[in-house]
Amino acid sequence: MSSISVVCFASSYAVALALEISRLFFRSGIRGALMIIFAAAGFLAQTLFLVARLTESNTSGWLDWYLLAAWILVAAYLYLTFYHPHNPIGIFILPIVLALIGAAYLLPDARGFTVGASSWGLVHGLALLLGTAVIMIGFVSGLMYLIQSSRLKHKRFSGSSFRLPSLEWGEKITSRCIVISAVLLGVGVFSGIAINAQSGRVPWTDPVVWGSGLLLLWLAVVMVFNMVYRPARQGRKIAYLTLASMVFLLLVLALTQLIPSEHPARTTANASTSMQNHLDRYQIEGGVA
């Protein structure tokens, strides 16, 4: 019998973040292994938690959406830390992970998304979720690029304590993130429109719909700008564009919470249930609840 709560995996990530920050102050031989162990333990706990929640009911909500986005970012963190053990990537990714978990923790637990209703629905949800996660990864690499670029420009050479990835790496990741996120958001938005068109009504006034559309439009403009204006493909400009994309994404996410939306319907049975009540002691008994 096991008991997993949001606090469990959030704490694991917080410890991994603290270990990442400790890089700035002292050297340690076992810190790398400890970081991976704590992050992987949190990742495993979060995976079990999400599996339990998603199999408990055929509906999901923003809680699951935020937790899934955090889950993808942790997977990216583990991958990057494994291949770039000397770069403190966690200092940039883990705060976003904790912020997403925090947002999930504070939001009302409204289960409005129907899981597995149709394969198009699955494509719609997954594409939007992955697109969002990729924008966040692009933001992290863009931020690292700008810090590294500024340090190199001002001749503040990095010591072993805070060694960021090379500018070339940052540029490659940020430019790829813009293209991939635009494609994924495009698939997500258009599959959503297609699903609604089948039922005869597309909720154009829904903030999630037009917010996602605006975000897609922004990414499309960025892509076109990159293609047309050659210097935009280089260096800092593309990093600034990923930062702007992240701001855009945050605005869209805020809109979806501030303006009533059908994503998901707020009139579900759980609508009044506080996430905190729900998540504080979310238990998986006998394996998957």
Partner 1 sequence: MKLQMVGCSHLTASVEIRQQLAFQPDDLASALEDLRLRFPNTEAVVLSTCNRVEVYTAAEDEVVSPSHEDMACFLAEFHNMKPEEILGALFEQSGEDAVRHLFYVAASLESMVIGESQILGQVKKAYEQATLLGSTGPLTHGVFQAALKAARLVATQTSIHQRRTSVPAVAIAELSKQIFERLDDKHILLIGAGEMAEETLEYVRQEGGKSITVVNRNDSRSEELAQRWQCRPARWDRLLELLVEADLVVSTTSSGESIVTFEDFKRVESQRYQRPLAILDLAVPCDFDPLIGDSLGVYLYNIDDLQTVCQRNREDRQKEWPAAEKIIEAETRSFMADLHHRATAPTIRQLQESCAKLKTEELQRLFNKMPNINDPCREEIEYAFDRFINKILHPPLDSLRREASDGTPHALLEALKRLFKLKD
User: What is the contact surface with partner 1 in residues (CB under 8 A)?
Assistant: 27, 29, 148, 152-153, 155, 157-160, 164-169, 171-172, 230-231, 233-237
In angstroms, give the least distance from the CB of 151 to partner 1: 8
The nearest distance, CB 47 to partner 1, in angstroms, is 31
User: Are the CB atoms for 112 and 61 separated by under 8 Å?
Assistant: yes
Nearer to partner 1, 58 or 161 (CB): 161
Residue matched to tokens 């289960």:
111
Q: Which residues contact 182 (CB under 8 A, 6 or more apart)?
A: 131, 216, 219, 220, 222, 223
> Could you tell me if residue 151 is left (phi over 0), alpha (psi between -120 and 50 degrees) or otherwise beta?
alpha
Cross-strand bridge partners of residue 114:
59
b/e map 113-136, b = 16+ CB within 10 Å: beeeeeeebebbbebbbbbbbbbb
Q: Minimal distance in Å, beta carbon 31 to partner 1?
A: 14
Nearer to partner 1, 28 or 277 (CB): 28
Supply 281's token pair: 């002691």
Closer to partner 1 by CB, 142 or 192: give it: 142
Q: Work out how close the CB of 143 gets to partner 1 at its nearest, in angstroms, rounded to a whole number.
A: 16
Tell me which amino acid residue 4 is.
I
Looking from the CA of 245 toward its CB, the CA atoms found within 13 Å total: 36
Q: Minimum Å distance from CB 26 to partner 1?
A: 12
| Least distance CB 235 / partner 1 (angstroms) | 5
Structure tokens, 159? 């010591």
